[in-house]
Structure 1
Amino acid sequence: MIQESNAYINMPDNALTSYFRNAGDMLAEESMLLGSVVNSIIVSQELLTNKAIILRLMAALKTTEDAVKGDIIRKTLEIVVNHTIDDI
């Protein structure tokens, strides 16, 4: 669940974290993927922005050959785009 992950503390958008909290286990795989993306951005010392998250998800979608994983990435990307505001 999203509130258990330290990766989400620094998220640029509260609407996104709220969405995952309210979804509970229904979005467990998407939540894990998003947490992984956020951690990756933080570890690489990049600025954590909605744009950075979206770009990482798009890159993952472009390189995956696994159809199931592609669906999870697509769904996560859709959620991020629909539940975040533009970075200023």
Structure 2
Amino acid sequence: MLTKIEQYAIDRVRDKRNELGLTQVDLAIKSGYSSGFIATVEAGKKGKKYNLNNLLAFAKAMKCSPRIFLPEDTSIFD
């Protein structure tokens, strides 16, 4: 089971990917990860999640700060 912050990061990566009009395959090519890994994480299967290295690679691929994948306000998890 994913924690709230893990799910938050997954959701923000998906949101940014969609905002930029990127498919999972596009993001995989740009980040060096497999599209299967991204699809599995986004689907919430097998308890897969992103780590900080993944978030950094995605940020570089999407030309944004990795900070956008983490909450500014931790009170959302109370």
Do these two structures clear the TM 0.5 threshold for a shared fold by scoring above it?
A: no
TM-score, normalized by length of structure 1? 0.34
Quick one: higher RCO (CA 8 Å, sep 6+), 1 or 2? 2
